[in-house]
Structure formats: structure tokens, C-alpha cells
Amino acid sequence: MRIPFEKIEEISAANDIIEVISSYIPVKKRGKSFLALCPFHADKNPSLTISQEKQVYHCFACGAGGNVFTFVQEYEKITFIEAAQSLALRAGIDLKFRDISPDLSNEISRLYEINKTAAKYFNENLVNNISGSEREYVFNYLKQRNLTEGVIKRFGIGYASNTWDNLRKFFEEEKIFKIEDLEKAGLLVTGENKSCYDRFRGRVMFPVFSENGKVVAFGGRKIFEDDPLGKYINSPETKIYNKSRILYGLNFSKEFIRSSDYVILVEGYMDLITLFEAGIKNVVASSGTSLTEEQVILISRYTNNIAILYDADLAGIKAAKRGIEIILSQNMDLTVITLPENEDPDSMIKKFGIKEFNKYFEKRKSIISFISSLYEKENKISSVTDKTNFIKEIINYISFIPDKIKRAFVIKELSDIYKLYESDLRTELDAALKRNFKEARIASSVQLPKKPVIKKRDNDKYISKPELDLIEIFLKGGSDVLLYLEHELNTNMIENRKVEIIVLKFLDELHFEGKIELSTFLNKIEDDELKSILTGINNEKDEINMGMKLTPDSIISRNYKKKTDYMRYAKDVIDKLKIRRIENEIEELKSDTANFDEIIRLKKESNSLRTGKKNNH
């Protein structure tokens, strides 16, 4: 199967690379070239340069590069043909294809096939296979939630039986995919004793689709009272599932969003399905994650008008506030729909019907009135101090709007409503701009996306054991080990800033020199503290004098793996870093009980990393 060369030329001519890449990630113009944070490695400074003249991109840090087809292919993890199809569609070029059988020699296409097969299995299981009291129980639940036959069909809903190995047995009988591929797809989990079992058990299954309608993951809704796990279990991230880049329901709703030039953003699968079935079809859900910048960019391909709808409880308001910053910083027009307390779209439409929901939609609020209503609700708008706090909070949000003129309009609106001098508000806005964008300005002239990051440890003097080990592996590991690190390491796993700087420099060195040699490398380091960390690790006897506080077990650990296999060591350290990152994330989430499910999920992830590690040794 191939596409005629002229057709490829036509597609390429109709898709400007700057426009296409901008539809996935933020791109900034600098001089003649365009820059972006590279989506193919953990990029801190924009390393991806895009040339409009040559219509190519290149990353100076990880070496990723290519043309408009390559970018779409790599970013969306799809084949060349699919990338061409998607770009043709984008440019309104007619391209007809026969169905082709998937290429199973490629891991990515295998993962897609596995998910597709599993989705069919779950659906078939629900509709035709389960029987007796189980069937009665499950259908009773579906009926309560208004999940009718039509909805089940439309959204591909299924059921994972309440056993440990139903799905595994099904795939074993099919004999097409290997167990390890099913694990990579997140459908099977290996526990202790290397026993392998189904991740989803006794749950109603919602397939999660990519923008172009392929199953990339699942969300499993708890239905049994005695199920000890969270309300939802979601697939882990896989090579085809990056949850921050997926919006649930977009494949169903994208044409409705485009034609209405409006989108309603909800939280969960059920909110989306209920609205969709009630006839409001321009809707997406950010389920499984709090709203991300990538998701907002995804939306902006279809519309610039977004109404967010979150639960009126504290967790919902917190989520909404986080969302506001991200949406405003993408220059989108934003309103907030607030429902009465204790109601979500699902419960509300069921109780009062779509008309009642529409009333609230019509009464949706601008950011100014949304924030003011929160203050009013808490009775915190009467004293001068209260008012000042309120105005400051609003101005803080306004500072996230990148467009200066747009900012000016909102400031004007604020001054009109509250009878304040515009000049005073502008002074406050300048302060907010400085506060919120100081770091990005120092780092480069390019505006960095504000991603929610785990707080780095305040005490930079403390370097953890796995972090020290990591540096050692970089210095002593062979090329296969370095390749592994380049691939697996994400800088958000590292807490200590100094170590982070060293690792980033290592990665640069690998890219430009192909190897890391301490002596030449040290010439490029100016900071004495960094030098001492490096030389300290290389020369074990000196580690006490590094000027850094080392924990006793870091010194002991240095000895146990001296001559051992560095690849195994590297894997071990990466797992440890991942576990620590997850634990930090749990700590952050603990402040809010609404995060309970997510905490449980993370704990499980961390446990499976731990047990996985045990099995390897």
C-alpha cells in the first residue's frame, strides 16, 4: 500500500510545518527561526527548532528531526499512512484508502491492535457472554446510570468479569499476542511470584479513544460494593497512551465542536456521555488527569471558546481554578458553568432534565464573576481587605493571558465593575506578570509553558542515594546503559537542582560528543559545587569531603554494586527514582481528600514497581 508521490507532495504543500506543529505544542518565533520545547524528550529549554523555509524540524538535545509527516507520525504514534491521511484531512485533500491489515511486527501497532481486541472482548462479554446473577447485577447498574443499549454501542462500553484471569485466558486462546505485550498495553499486571493477572476485574469498561477514534486505554468503573479499589481504575501510560494528551470523547464530539465553535469541558466519562445523549454534543472530558496544556492546545484546533464545568464542591473548584490558568495562557475565551452544590451534569440531567441544565449553561460566568461568586459564597467580599484580596486574585489570573490587548480589555472591565482606577489595576498587573513569568524570562526569551511540577526539595544540599547512583552510572556505564538512560530518564524524577543540571549537561554531552569523559566534561563546568559532586562520585574515597551531606546508606550502597552489571543497576535506579517521584506526588495530593482515588492508584503503581524490582533480583 503506498500513496502516489504527487499526492504526498500535494499534502505536504498544503500543510505548513509551523502551523501543524503549533497545533500540538506551543511554538514561539525567535528571529528567523521557530522554537519549542521538544515533545520527544524531557526538555527544559526549548531545543526544538523549526525551519519554515526548509519545512523541517530538529531537536538539538535528542536529535529528533524530520518533516511535517514525521512530526505527526512521532507525536501521535501512528504510521506514515495514517499521518498522511490526517494531514490530508486537515488540508481538505481527498485521499481514499482500502483497509490494510495491521503490521504486527511494530510494537506501536501491536498495542493498538491489543486495545482494539480487548475493547471488543469487553463489549462482547457484556452484551453476550455474562449470565445469571452477574448479568442481572451488571445490567441493573447500567440501567440505574441510564446506560442503554444505544449508549453501550455508541461508546463501546464493556464489562470485565469479576475474576483474575478472564482476559488473560481469552488472549491465550487467541494466540496472537504475547503476554509481555499485554502487560505493555496495561491490561495485565505481574504480581509477586511472577503471576500475571487481569488489571480490570468486575468493572464496567469505558474504552478511551484517541482523537482519530482508536482505543488507546480503558477506564474501569467500580460496581461491586466489596471492591477495595478506587471508583475508577485507568490504564497506566503506555507507548500509545499519554494521558495528558488525550481528551475523552473528542473523537465523538470534534465535528460538533467545530461547527458550534464552542466546547464544554467536563470532568468524567459519565458527565460526557450524559450530556452527549441529552443532545449536547460539543463536549469533552479531561478524565483521568487534571487539565493539561497539551489538552487545551488539542481543543484549540477546533475552537477558541471554552466553557468549563466542574463540580461545585471544593475539589471541583480547585480543579477549575487550575484549569483557568492553563486555558487563559493559551489565549482562549473562557467561561465557567457552575451547577448547584452536590450536582454534576450526570445527576442533574437525570433529576431535572436538559432544560434545567441549559438554564445554568445560559447563566455561565466570566472569570471575574466566577471568582467574585466564590468570594461572595464565603462571605468574604465586604471588608476592604477582602475586596483587595479578591481583586488581586483576579488580576493574577489576568496575568496569564498572553495577549496584551485582551488583558487591557479585562482590566477595563474590572475597573468598570468595581469602580477602581485602571492605572492602579495595571500596576498590580505588572507585579503579577513579573511574579508569574520571572523564571521563564531569565531562562530565555521564549515563554515556557507552566506545567504543574512537583515541588523540588527546598534543601539543595541533600542529594538522595538514587540521584548519586544515577550520576555514577552516567560516568561509568557503557553505551547501551547510556542509551537506556537517555530513553527512560525524565528530569521530573530528579529532585535536587544540582543533580538535575548535571544530568541535563550529561545528556547534551552525549548528544554532541557521543560519550561522557569526566576530564573533558569538567572543563565545561564552571560551578565548583557541581564539580565537587562529580569528582566526589568518581573518586569514592573523597566522597566525605564533597561538602554535601551524604546519608550513611549512600556510602554503603556505593560498595555493593561496584563490579556488577551496570544495565541492571541503571534499571534499578530508574525504578527507585520513579517510586520516589510517585511518593512525592502522593504527598502533594494528600492535602485534599478528593484525591483519594488517585492516591490509591499511585500507591499501586509504586507497589508494582517495587515488586517488579523484587522479581528481577
Min dist CB 53 to Zn ion, Å, is: 21
Considering the complex, what minimum distance in angstroms separates the CB of residue 47 from Zn ion?
A: 5
Q: Provide the grid cell at 37.
A: 520545547
Measured from the CB atom, is 59 or 410 closer to Zn ion? 59
The footprint of Zn ion on residues 48-87 (CB under 5 A) is 59, 61-62, 64
Cell numbers given for 127? 452484551
Q: How many residues bind Zn ion (CB under 5 A)?
A: 7
Integer Cα distance of 214 and 48 in angstroms? 28
**59/182 with CB nearer Zn ion:** 59
Q: Which stretch binds Zn ion (CB under 5 A): 39-47, 268-276, 441-449, 492-500?
A: 39-47
Q: Which stretch binds Zn ion (CB under 5 A): 32-40, 126-134, 180-188, 444-452?
A: 32-40
Find the shortest distance in angstroms from Cβ 3 to Zn ion: 28
Shortest Å distance, C-beta 38 to Zn ion: 3
Cell readout for 85 is 491521511
- Can you say whether residue 261 is alpha, beta or left, with left for phi > 0 and alpha for psi between -120 and 50 degrees? left
Indicate the residue among 61 and 250 with the shorter CB distance to Zn ion: 61
Task: Provide the grid cell at 333.
Answer: 475565551
Position among 14, 18, 23, 40 found at the interface with Zn ion (CB under 5 A): 40
59/485 with CB nearer Zn ion: 59
Q: Binding segment for Zn ion among 30-38, 128-136, 537-545, 591-599 (CB under 5 A)?
A: 30-38
- From the CB of 48, what's the least distance to Zn ion, in Å? 6
Contact by Cβ (8 Å): 507, 539:
no
The torsion region of residue 459 among left (phi > 0), alpha (psi -120 to 50) and beta comes to beta
Q: In Å, how far from its chain's centre is CA 52?
A: 28
Distance of closest approach, residue 39 Cβ to Zn ion, in angstroms: 8
Minimum distance from residue 325 beta carbon to Zn ion (Å) = 26
CB nearer Zn ion, residue 38 or residue 205 = 38
Q: Which is nearer to Zn ion, 40 or 352 (CB)?
A: 40
Across 193-209, b (16+ Cβ under 10 Å) vs e yields eeebebbbbbbbbbbbb
CA distance 617 to 605: 19
Decide: is 41 part of the binding site for Zn ion (CB under 5 A): yes
Q: Give yes or no for residue 36 binding Zn ion (CB under 5 A).
A: no
Nearer Cβ to Zn ion, position 301 or 511? 511
Q: CA 65 to CA 68: how far, in whole Å?
A: 10
Q: Which is nearer to Zn ion, 37 or 240 (CB)?
A: 37
Interaxial angle between packed helices 250-260 and 269-277, expressed in degrees from 0 to 180 and rounded to the nearest 10: 50
Q: Which is nearer to Zn ion, 41 or 245 (CB)?
A: 41
CA distance 197 to 9: 48
DSSP string spanning 103-169? Answer: -TTSHHHHHHHHHHHHHHHHHHIIIII--HHHHHHHHHHHHHTT--HHHHHHHT-EEE-SSSSHHHH
Helix (H) or strand (E) holding 61: none
Where is 197: in which H helix or E strand?
Answer: strand 196-198
Q: Residue with C-alpha cell 511494530?
A: 106
Distance in Å, CB of 449 to Zn ion, minimum: 15
Binding residue for Zn ion, selected from 38, 205, 247, 586, defined by CB under 5 A:
38
Q: In this complex, which beta carbon is closest to Zn ion, that of residue 61 or of residue 233?
A: 61
Q: Do strands 215-222 and 203-209 pair parallel, antiparallel, or not at all (unpaired)?
A: antiparallel
Q: Find the shortest distance in angstroms from Cβ 479 to Zn ion.
A: 19
Q: Mask: binding to Zn ion, 350-379, rule CB under 5 A, as x and -?
A: ------------------------------
Least distance from C-beta 70 to Zn ion, angstroms? Answer: 13
Would you tell me which residues interact with Zn ion (CB under 5 A)? 38, 40-41, 59, 61-62, 64
